[in-house]
Structure 1
């Protein structure tokens, strides 16, 4: 039976769900509040069963071609002095001899967008402002449409979650840091190498993408609460907090102030007792953001989208509950990665167990 599904959010979770639903004969409609595909973003890890999801969509070869190819990383102190280096792992991607891949966010999103754009209705520049129990959705642009299922795949600050489940403060758990991500030309001349500079007051990391032509840079500072600032205010705040760091830091901060794709967000998790209510269900970070500290947000989004599409095709009326029952154990073990060793990250053994704690065929 063909059903109509509203997918709010054209990120990894939303586009993957749209592709999986369309392949099963349903009619997804994707609505994204941004005016177009979002540029930039950090490199994303795809691990374990999430690789199988990409393979089933026919995108694994493209994702492998776009992956980062790090040779290792180095860590520097506040003076810019190298403390240590590794050719076995990087903080962002984990062990380098793994079958897992790390892909720039915009490259992975482009692969998914290209897969569905000719077959799926995608509306940019709009967002729901009201969702009725019968599936009728009122949009900011003034239109109203009714759907068999409404999926909130709209991230940490989900509008769907606020409309149906409650305010962000009820579900978002701050983890004590604020990060910003932006792109730049490879002014550091890094060649498949990741570099970090940090002390107790802040940190930055840079690594090359797109054949070493561009950099992705992440800047982070500790915060005691979830602070809200406009982008230019965050640029100024981060510049002030990191100005004491030496080495390449002045050039990094200059690039941050000029970056058009600057994006800032809190390190946080989403913790909810339930992810569905009637015809509404949450997916990916909107339901269970594990935070970048886990390195598993993208894999959870890919696997969750596959499971929700599979359950919806099997039994639309009971799909949200069935999807949630299957995903909760996988989410729990992966969210725990972010808090296992505060300030140090999860152990390789914990990550190996968590990333493989789900089977698409189980």
Structure 2
């Protein structure tokens, strides 16, 4: 079996396929496991997967231990705060937040001896028949596999080759994000967020280099290319030209950066996650957007797919069908909840920013959860209450 992508889903799937007696091969465009990316959570069903892989001690060791999400004004004064640690404790959650690159490295180390890894390579073509899949690569000779699994993210090449153009399945959510690792550590246990209407800048502390993220509302950019770093810098400079707080300093770092992540915040929607002997996994099948639980669900989906393939030997159609039916139950509510999370972090108006900040002061333990659950109609009432409070 061939797995495209050595991020979160790919190595997890390789580990469990090997445990079930299969011989997986993983192909990855990058030269090594990527070290970049926003912090991610291992929670819910992924905790059980990680425990069964015996990697929870390493995951906890790499955890960021963030306790607070704080909102600041143009002068850096804290105007709202959510106690994330208390929320987790109140919910009885054992989740761990850690840098995405650390999680990918841990999963790779757990699976590297059980699978063939092909770095600096990618799938260039797919041709399948009733008995297998012929695959051509950008580097090296063609090979034939029983099955191909696309675990290659939002911009999946496997999905494009087997299902059709990206534009048919990827929905822009009206936001863009850029992230950059700072060349110095920002100590502390809180994520700091500064908002102007329709934008947010956050700094996430880390045991190593801190991560800065830029978020802003925008319609889809015509001809957007997620690899065009020069254009990305121009967009960020224009969008954040008039910000206060640390905006100028952080944009200067963007100008000097060699490694900048920039992409649309998007969701992936397909009527069916498999076609013939090709199946999609993780963000390639059902990207949740920035605000979902992509890594958690990638690990859970990989475990489910391996389990179904093992339970249905020689019958990939039944395995794929069962995997999709089981995993969609977890994915669907998370995709629906992403819009509310965007309203929490990137309010569109000054009134919305004030209402969000007021909510964190009125309900210090439940503010985040409450905001994520209220409807837009209810949030308008909160906005009105905030306006009256200021008067």
Alpha carbons of 1:79 and 1:350: their partners in 2 closer, same or farther (altered >3 Å)?
closer
5 Å-filtered alignment, 1:2-41, equals: 5-41=1-37
Structure with the larger strand share: 1
Q: Distance in 2 between matches of 1:152 and 1:30?
A: 10
Q: Distance in 2 between matches of 1:259 and 1:198?
A: 23
Q: Distance in 2 between matches of 1:99 and 1:266?
A: 30
Q: Does 1:185 align with 2:183?
A: yes
- The answer on whether the counterparts of 2:73 and 2:245 sit within 8 Å (CA) in structure 1 is no
| 1:288 aligned residue | 286
Q: Does 1:146 align with 2:144?
A: yes
- Give 1:61 deviation, angstroms: 1.3
- Give 1:349 deviation, angstroms: 7.1
Structure 1 alignment gaps of length 5 or more: 353-362
CA deviation map 1:271-308 (0-9, x unaligned): 000000111000000000011122x1111100000000
Q: Distance in 1 between matches of 2:370 and 2:330?
A: 16
- Give 1:95 deviation, angstroms: 3.0
Q: Distance in 1 between matches of 2:211 and 2:12?
A: 24
Q: Does 1:95 align with 2:95?
A: no
- The answer on whether the counterparts of 1:201 and 1:242 sit within 8 Å (CA) in structure 2 is no
Q: Distance in 2 between matches of 1:196 and 1:138?
A: 45
- The answer on whether the counterparts of 2:181 and 2:209 sit within 8 Å (CA) in structure 1 is yes
CA deviation map 1:72-101 (0-9, x unaligned): 132123454432223x128xxx93433211
Q: Does 1:108 align with 2:106?
A: no
Q: Does 1:335 align with 2:331?
A: no
Q: Point out the structure with max Rg over C-alpha.
A: 2
- Give 1:128 deviation, angstroms: 1.3
5 Å-filtered alignment, 1:54-203, equals: 54-78=50-74, 80-86=76-82, 88-89=83-84, 95-97=87-89, 98-133=93-128, 134-186=132-184, 189-203=186-200
CA deviation map 1:295-331 (0-9, x unaligned): x111110000000001111114221111111111111
- The answer on whether the counterparts of 2:187 and 2:206 sit within 8 Å (CA) in structure 1 is no
Q: Distance in 2 between matches of 1:71 and 1:129?
A: 44
Alpha carbons of 1:288 and 1:220: their partners in 2 closer, same or farther (altered >3 Å)?
same
Q: Does 1:238 align with 2:236?
A: yes
- The answer on whether the counterparts of 2:170 and 2:267 sit within 8 Å (CA) in structure 1 is yes
RMSD: 2.1
| 2:323 aligned residue | 323
Q: Does 1:348 align with 2:369?
A: yes
Task: Give the TM-score of the pair, scaled to structure 1.
Answer: 0.88
Q: Distance in 1 between matches of 2:372 and 2:15?
A: 28
- The answer on whether the counterparts of 2:17 and 2:24 sit within 8 Å (CA) in structure 1 is yes
Alpha carbons of 1:351 and 1:305: their partners in 2 closer, same or farther (altered >3 Å)?
farther
- Give 1:249 deviation, angstroms: 1.6
Structure 2 alignment gaps of length 5 or more: 346-366, 374-391
**SS in structure 1 of the partner of residue 211 of structure 2:** strand
Alpha carbons of 1:347 and 1:196: their partners in 2 closer, same or farther (altered >3 Å)?
closer
Q: Distance in 1 between matches of 2:267 and 2:24?
A: 28
1:47 to 28, 43, 49: 43
Task: Give the TM-score of the pair, scaled to structure 2.
Answer: 0.82
State which drifts further: 25-34 or 177-186.
177-186
- The answer on whether the counterparts of 2:7 and 2:104 sit within 8 Å (CA) in structure 1 is yes
Q: Distance in 1 between matches of 2:247 and 2:19?
A: 47
